[in-house]
């Protein structure tokens, strides 16, 4: 009986050794297969401990200072021309055909005077019917573009409500009863439609308030947009050369090469490194709502823990 038990134990032990050996071989074979696929595709696999610890601009392959990064949030009623104003800033032409925007996110990279800048643009059209989502976009925005149409009185009322919502949200976030100047630019768009215009300047001032400045613009002809883009630059502390008429739009590959080539020169020269230029990042994606929410909660807890979630 004892011999039988001893034989059975040896049998189980041998089976366990065989299993572990086979498992080790399988893992080694899988690892070799992954290595072969990686080598054949021309990509090396990096261990996680060698990944960059700081945020890096993947487009220009050079770190961008936090003070040079801004998020612009565009808000307004439907069919007022928000998308075409964004297209003008990106260096594109006016699009006559109208398609309702769900949500668009763009990133424009600038190389001006030896410095790199990043401007993220969020067209939050779909958030009109989702207050919590819109509030999160407002809380994470640095600069705002509010658009209404001169042929639509209701769109002006909505612009007023959006301005008030931005003021209230930012005041609550920063725990201030006297918020600083609102970083917003108001566009009275479709100035080219003289015959359909239903709003006068006096009506606009009465509804928006005397302290709210606005620019009459036409996304179709480009009238007034230069002043809007210059105002955006002033609010964000950006160079005037970020205005589309003040820089050259280049392909993303050219921009990437420029940043790599001048990375070593940046220590020796701070200015005069070529004409201002910019490129649009074709791979830009909006940060996740989770990361945006963490950003908001981090901002609101610097001095005092909030009583409830800021997006409510």
- Nearest by Cα to 104 from 239, 243, 286, 240: 286
Q: What is the pLDDT of residue 301?
A: 56
What's the 3-state SS for the chain? CHHHHHHHHHHHHHHHHHHHHHHHHHHHHHHHHHHHHHHHCCCCCCCHHHCCCCCCECCCCECCCHHHEEEEEEEECCCCCHHHHHHHHCCCCCCCCCCCCCCEEEEEEEEECCEEEEEEEEECHHHHHCHHHHHHHHHHCCEEEEEEECCCHHHHHHHHHHHHHHHHHHHHHCCCCCCCCCCEEEEEECCCCCCCCCCCHHHHHHHHCCCCCEEECCCCCCCCHHHHHHHHHHHHCCCHHHCHHHCEECCHHHHHHHHHHCCCCCCCCCCCCCCCEEEECCCCCCCCHHHHHHHHHHHHCCCCCCCCCCCC
Residue 120 has pLDDT above 90, yes or no: yes
Least confident window among 35-44, 217-226, 246-255, 280-289: 35-44
Residue with the larger pLDDT of the pair 128 and 108: 108
Average pLDDT, the chain: 78
What distance in Å separates the CA atoms of residue 174 and residue 302, rounded to the nearest whole number? 9
Domains of the chain, first to last? 66-300 (3.40.50.300)
What distance in Å separates the CA atoms of residue 212 and residue 119, rounded to the nearest whole number? 24
Residue with the larger pLDDT of the pair 305 and 188: 188
Give the end-to-end CA distance of the chain in Å, rounded to a whole number.
73
The first and second tokens of residue 227, run together, are 């002043």
Tell me what the mean pLDDT of segment 120-148 comes to. 90
- Nearest by Cα to 152 from 186, 197, 195: 197
The first and second tokens of residue 118, run together, are 């990043």
pLDDT tens digits for range 14-69:
555 555 555 555 455 554 444 444 444 443 333 333 333 344 445 445 678 999 99
- Choose from 14-18, 48-52, 75-79, 257-261 the range with maximum mean pLDDT: 75-79
């Amino acid at each position: 009986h004892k011999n039988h038990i001893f034989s059975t134990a040896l049998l189980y032990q041998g089976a366990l050794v065989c299993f572990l050996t086979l498992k080790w071989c399988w893992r080694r074979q899988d690892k070799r297969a992954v290595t072969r696929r990686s080598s054949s595709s021309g990509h090396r696999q990096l261990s996680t401990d060698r990944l960059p610890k700081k945020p890096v601009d993947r487009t220009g392959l050079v770190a961008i200072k936090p003070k040079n990064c801004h998020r612009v949030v565009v808000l307004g009623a439907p069919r007022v021309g928000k998308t075409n104003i964004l297209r003008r800033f990106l260096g594109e032409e006016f699009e006559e055909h109208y398609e309702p925007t769900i949500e668009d996110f763009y990133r424009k990279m600038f190389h001006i005077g030896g410095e790199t800048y990043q401007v993220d643009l969020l067209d939050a059209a779909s958030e009109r019917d989702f207050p919590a989502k819109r509030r999160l976009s407002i809380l994470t925005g640095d600069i705002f573009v509010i658009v209404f149409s001169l042929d639509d009185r209701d769109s002006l009322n909505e612009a007023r409500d959006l301005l008030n919502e931005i003021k209230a949200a930012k005041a609550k976030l920063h725990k201030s009863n006297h918020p600083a100047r609102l970083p917003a630019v108001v566009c009275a768009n479709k100035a080219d439609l003289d015959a359909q215009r239903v709003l006068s300047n006096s009506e606009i001032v009465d509804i928006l308030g005397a302290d709210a400045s606005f620019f009459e613009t036409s996304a179709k002809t480009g009238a007034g947009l230069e002043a809007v883009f210059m105002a955006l630059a002033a609010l964000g502390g950006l160079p005037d050369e970020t205005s589309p008429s003040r820089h050259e739009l280049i392909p993303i590959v050219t921009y990437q090469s420029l940043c790599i080539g001048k990375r070593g020169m940046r220590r020796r020269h701070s200015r005069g490194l070529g004409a201002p230029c910019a490129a649009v990042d074709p791979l830009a994606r909006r940060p996740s709502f989770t990361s945006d929410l963490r950003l908001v909660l981090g901002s609101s807890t610097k001095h005092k823990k909030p009583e409830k979630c800021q997006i409510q």
